[in-house]
Amino acid sequence: MKKKLLTALLLATLLFTLLMAGCSGDDKKSTDSNGSAEDVAPKTIVVGCIAGAGYPPLAFENEAGEADGVDVRVLKAIDEKLGDYEFEYIYQEMRATLAGLDSGTLNLGANMFEYNDERAEKYTYTDSGYMDFSTYIVVLEGTTGFNTLDDLQGKRVITYPSSNTAYILESYNEEHPDSPIEIVYSDSMDVQRQSLKSGDVDATLGTKFGVEMENAQFGSNQLLIEPTINESLAYFLFPKKNADPEFEKAFNTALDDLVADGTTAKIYDDLFAEWRAGLENQ
């Protein structure tokens, strides 16, 4: 009788051990502070991203109807490196993205933001810039005499509101209150293009790639004046309200790596090569 009882106890112990082993097999889960197991989902990062579907190759919709461009491709390359995070994109104008960063409802701003002291007081810049964004005076071909900002005193110069070019012009006027530049603001590239073409404004500020795009796509006959009036790069912005230092560190590390290994430069070059090829095939 004792032998039968011992055998039964051994079988019960063996069965219990097998059941426990089955419960704690390959299906691994994390344990929270209360000791319960749960799957760890990637943390959602809300990104305010450049709108402008009509600004290829920097920002546009591809043939699949998806958002594309420099910011989008760089962000996707970073997202692939950050397994603990998942990006959710909100496509909007620059001012809406800045407002989202101000309120802390966005975790990241992506609108090819250049550095300036005013923004640095409100937002945190990424450690690395990912694209050259140096600024030049831009006029119509045949226009002469506008070689420096001093030459634009009393002249009408059109620019985007809240942009770094607006900041450059506004800062100049603060330093030269007796001989300011007349700043004309417009959110529309079409308005800026037509205003320059019609002579309603005398000049604008722009980049080398911007002038190339305008002339190739629209026959704008714009002329970029050397040398640069401001050397700059494009950066991503983090909010200071509801800041996430852990995410910022991970994002900066990933971006630094992509800049160092030439990935961001290749993204830029590939986009412009695709764009030029598309123009030739039209």
Total of domains in the chain: 2
The reply to whether 105 and 51 lie within a common domain is yes
Last-in-domain residue among 204, 230, 256: 230
Q: Look at residue 63 and tell me if it is in a domain.
A: yes
151: domain CATH number is: 3.40.190.10
Residue 156, both tokens: 């009408």
Domain assignment of residue 19, yes or no: no
Q: Is the CB of residue 156 less than 8 Å from the CB of residue 184? A: yes
pLDDT along the chain (282 residues), means of 10: 39 38 38 50 94 80 90 96 95 92 97 92 97 96 96 97 93 98 94 95 96 90 95 96 97 98 97 91 77
This prediction has a pTM of 0.76
Q: What is the pLDDT of residue 38?
A: 55
Q: Are strands 135-140 and 203-206 parallel, antiparallel or unpaired?
A: antiparallel
Query: Is residue 258 in some structural domain?
Result: yes
- 150 and 220 both lie in a single domain: yes
Say what the pLDDT of residue 22 is.
Answer: 40
Asked if residue 247 and residue 117 are part of one domain, the reply reads: yes
277 half-sphere exposure, CB direction, 13 A CA radius: 6
Q: Which of 21, 51, 156 has the alpha carbon at shortest distance from 112?
A: 51
Same domain? For 223 and 251 the reply is no
At 41 the three-state DSSP class reads coil
3-class state of residue 40 by DSSP: coil
Q: Which residues pair with 218 in a beta bridge?
A: none
Q: Are residues 83 and 220 in the same domain?
A: no
Q: Would you state the pLDDT for residue 25?
A: 37
Q: Are residues 128 and 139 in the same domain?
A: no
Same domain, 100 and 159: no
Distance CA 241, CA 228 (A): 34
The predicted structure's pLDDT at residue 93:
87
Q: Is residue 11 part of a domain?
A: no
pLDDT of amino acid 8: 39
Question: 198-201, long-range: CB within 8 Å, 24+ apart, which pairs?
Answer: 200/156, 201/156, 201/157, 201/158
Other CB atoms within 10 Å distance of the CB of residue 267: 21
- Contact at 8 Å (CB) between 237 and 75? no
In percent, the amount of the chain with pLDDT more than 70 equals: 85
Classify residue 164: in a domain, yes or no: yes
Q: Which domain holds residue 237?
A: 43-132+233-280
Which residues contact residue 32 at a Cβ distance below 8 angstroms, ignoring those fewer than 6 apart?
38
Contact 160, 210 (CB under 8 A): no
* Co-location of 103 and 216 in the same domain: no
Residues 113 and 167 in one domain: no
Is 200 in the same domain as 74? no
Residue 259 lies in a domain: yes
pLDDT, residue 39, reads 67
Last residue of a domain, one of 214, 230, 246: 230
Residue 8 lies in a domain: no
Q: Do 157 and 209 reside in the same domain of the chain? A: yes
Asked whether residue 226 falls in the same domain as residue 145, the answer is: yes
Q: Report if residue 76 sits inside a domain.
A: yes
Question: C-alpha distances in angstroms, 189 versus 185, 243, 269?
Answer: 11, 33, 23
